[in-house]
Amino acid sequence: MKKFIGRKDELKRLEGLRRSNKASLVVINGRRRIGKSRLVEEYAKNKVFLPFTGLAPIQHLSAQDQRDAFARQLATHFKLPPLTFVDWSDAFAHLMLHLTDHPTVILFDEISWMGAKDPTFLPKLKVWWDLNLQKYPHVMLILCGSVSTWIEENIIQSTAFFGRISLHLTLGELSLSESTLFLKEEGFHPSAYDIFKVLSVTGGVPWYLEQVDSSETADANIKRLCFDKNGLLVKEFDLIFHDLFSRRGTIYKKITHILSEGMRDLTQIRREVNYPSSGSLSDHLKALIISGYVTQHYTWSLKTGKIGRQSLYRLSDNYIRFYIKYIEPNLPKILKNTYNDLSLNELPGWEAMMGFQVETLLLANRHMILKSLGLYPQDIVADNPYFQRKTERQRGCQIDYLIQTHTNSLFVCEFKFSRREINSEVIESVQNKIKRFSVSRGFGVCPVLFHLGGVSDAVHNSRYFYRVIDIADFLEGKVQSSD
C-alpha cells in the first residue's frame, strides 16, 4: 500500500477513542473522492478490519440487493458458504458471531446507499448498537459516506443516535503542503508553478492527485485527464451529481453554474435560478455546503466586528469550477479529441482562470496566510473575501481576502498567479481598491501581495506592500515573507 499522507489529527482522534477502552461509534463524511475509506484503512492497520460497502444506486436496485451484497462481503471476510438475509437484524446478528477479543474496526461504507431502500435499516442498526455492539470495548463501528446530507439528516441530527456518536469527522481536502508531498511520493517533481497548475484543477482531493502520471508534464496530465474524450475528469462532474443528489441533481448543477461566475447572495441566486420564493433554495445551498462544494461567507461590520445577516456563497471546489469553465463548454471538441495538439496556454482566458483557481486554493489554506503575517486565530475579528456593495454613499469594492484584527488593522490581501514578472501595475490596482474601500477613522490598512513568480524591483522598492509573500513556500509548509 502507498505511503499515507496527511490526516494526522484525524488519526490521533481515532486512536484516542481506542485508548478509552470503550466501544466507539464514529461517523465520517466528506465529498466524493476525498479519502474517507482510505483513512479508515490506515487507522485499521494491525487491527481486525471488516469493511462493508453499499451498492451504488441504480434503477431497480432493491433493499434485498443491498442485503445480498452485505451477505457476500460477510461470507468473503470469514470464508463462509453463500449467505442470505431477508432482514438487517439477522445480518447484524450473524456478524456478531464472528467477532473476537482483538481490536476490531467495522466499516459501513456508503451507508446511505446501504440503507436508503429500507426504512428499517437505521432503527435496526441503532438497536444492534444499543443491545449488542456497544458491549464490546474493543470494537469501533465507523459509518461512512459521500452523501453528507443523508448522513446529516439521518444520523448526526437524528434523535435515535443522540448521545451515541463518539466522534464525527468531516474530511476536507489535503493542505497545499500535504498535496505537494502526495505528488512527490508519486514521483511527480515539477516546478512550483506547475504544482499550482495541477492543484488548481484537482484541489487537494487525494483520488484526483492519484491520477497524475509522474512521467508526464503538468500540461500533459491536465490534457489527458480533462481534454481527452476518455479523461477521468471529463465524466466526473456528472457522476458527482448523480451519486450525491440523484434526481435533484439538476437544481444543484444550476446553482454551481451560477456560483462559477462569482460569489452571490441568496436573493441573487434565487433570481438567476428562477427559483420560487416559497421554495427550499436555502436547503439546496446547505446540501452543497455540507457536501463540501460550496462555502458560505458571512459579511461583517468593520465598525463593530459583528457578523451581519447577509452572507455570500462561493463555489469552493476547484475541479467543479474548472469543469464548468473549461471542460463543459468544450465537450463537443473534447469528444473529437480536438485538443491533442493544443497548448493549454492558448485557451481563452487561461491565465486569468488559473489565477482564480489558485485564489480558491489559498482561501482553503488560510491558516498559512495568517501564519505568514504573524497572526493567530485569537488576533482575528473576521476574515473572508470581502464585497462592498455600491450605494449612494459608497462605491463598490471587492477584495480577494480581508483580515480584520482586534487592533483595528485591516490586511487587504491581493493574490497574483503569473508566469510573467509582476510589475508596478499591481500597486495601482490595489490602490484603486483601497480608495473605494469605506473604512472608518481609527483603522489601519495594510496591503499585502501574495504571488507566484517574479516580482519586479519597482514593486519591492516602492515599499507599498506591508508584505510581499511568495506562495511557493506554502507548498513545502514553509512561511517566508519579504518587506
CA-closest candidate to residue 238, choices 151, 144, 320: 320
In words, the CATH class of domain 177-360 is: mainly alpha
What is the fold, at CATH topology level, of the domain defined by 365-476?
Answer: Trna Endonuclease; Chain: A, domain 1 (3.40.1350)
Beta bridge partners of 422: 455
Residue-by-residue pLDDT tens, the chain, 483 positions: 678 999 999 999 999 998 888 999 999 999 999 999 999 999 999 999 999 999 988 888 999 999 999 999 999 999 999 999 999 999 999 999 999 999 999 999 999 999 988 999 999 999 999 999 998 999 999 999 988 888 999 999 999 999 999 999 999 999 999 999 999 999 999 999 999 999 999 999 999 999 999 999 999 999 999 999 999 999 999 888 876 676 677 889 999 999 999 999 999 999 999 998 877 899 899 989 998 999 999 888 888 888 888 889 999 999 999 999 999 999 999 999 888 887 888 888 888 899 999 999 999 999 999 999 999 999 999 999 988 877 877 888 889 999 999 999 999 999 999 888 999 999 999 999 999 888 888 899 999 999 998 899 999 999 999 999 999 999 998 776 555
Distance (Å, whole) CA 222 – CA 214? 12
Strand order in the sheet with 48-53: 48-53, 104-109, 139-145, 24-30, 167-171
| 8 Å CB contact between 161 and 155 | yes
Q: What is the 8-class DSSP label of residue 109?
A: E
Distance (Å, whole) CA 441 – CA 246? 52
Beta bridge partners of 1: none
Which residue shows C-alpha cell 457476500? 72
Which residues in the chain are classed under CATH 1.10.10.10? 177-360
3-state secondary structure of 320: helix
H or E element in which residue 359 lies? helix 350-364
* Residues across the chain: 483
CB atoms closer than 10 angstroms to residue 45: 10
Q: Where are the alpha helices (H) located in 85-191, listed in sequence order?
A: 88-96, 111-115, 121-131, 148-151, 176-185
- The reported pLDDT for the residue numbered 19 is 87
Concatenating the DSSP letter of every residue in 249-314 gives HHHHHHHHHHHTTS-B-HHHHHHHHT--TTS-HHHHHHHHHHTTSEEEEEEE-TTT-PEEEEEEEE
CB atoms closer than 10 angstroms to residue 440: 9
CA-closest candidate to residue 108, choices 141, 139, 156: 141
User: For 235-287, what is each residue's pLDDT tens digit?
Assistant: 999 888 876 676 677 889 999 999 999 999 999 999 999 998 877 899 899 98
Enter the pTM of the model.
0.92
What is the fold, at CATH topology level, of the domain defined by 8-171?
Answer: Rossmann fold (3.40.50)
Distance (Å, whole) CA 374 – CA 50? 45
Q: Rg of the chain's alpha carbons, rounded to an integer?
A: 25
